[in-house]
Amino acid sequence: MPNKIDLGYLFDRNSKTLRQTEVSFAQSVDPQVMETTLNGMLGGQATEEIKQGLKQVQQGQSDNFSFKNGSINLSVLFDNKMAFAGFCIL
């Protein structure tokens, strides 16, 4: 979706591992697309807690949501000034 979704990866050349993934969405992107993308980035392992946190940010009930479990460190945020929602997985 040109000009609606930005995707980024940080790759460690020394260890040859993916260190971080992030994506941002224009406000016009369907919330289901965001949830499907997040679930895919988590290898199909998005819990109900994660889905609910994403939904709260999407609906403006919260500016951000953080989740940490083992090697997954997830942040979901909404930036009203920039009109985008995004998440980052470390």
> What DSSP letter does each residue of 5-70 carry, written as one string?
EEEEEEEETTTTEEEEEEEEEETTS-HHHHHHHHHHHTTT---HHHHHHHHHHHTTS-SEEEEEET
pLDDT by residue (tens digit) across 17-50?
Answer: 888 888 888 888 888 998 998 898 888 988 999 9
Identify the residue with better confidence: 46 or 2.
46
pLDDT of residue 89: 64
pTM above 0.75, yes or no: yes
- Report the alpha-carbon distance of residue 63 to residue 39 in Å, rounded: 20
pLDDT at 82 over 60: no
What pLDDT band is residue 84 in, cutting at 50, 70 and 90? low
The distance in angstroms from the start CA to the end CA of the chain is: 24
Where along the chain do its domains lie?
5-89
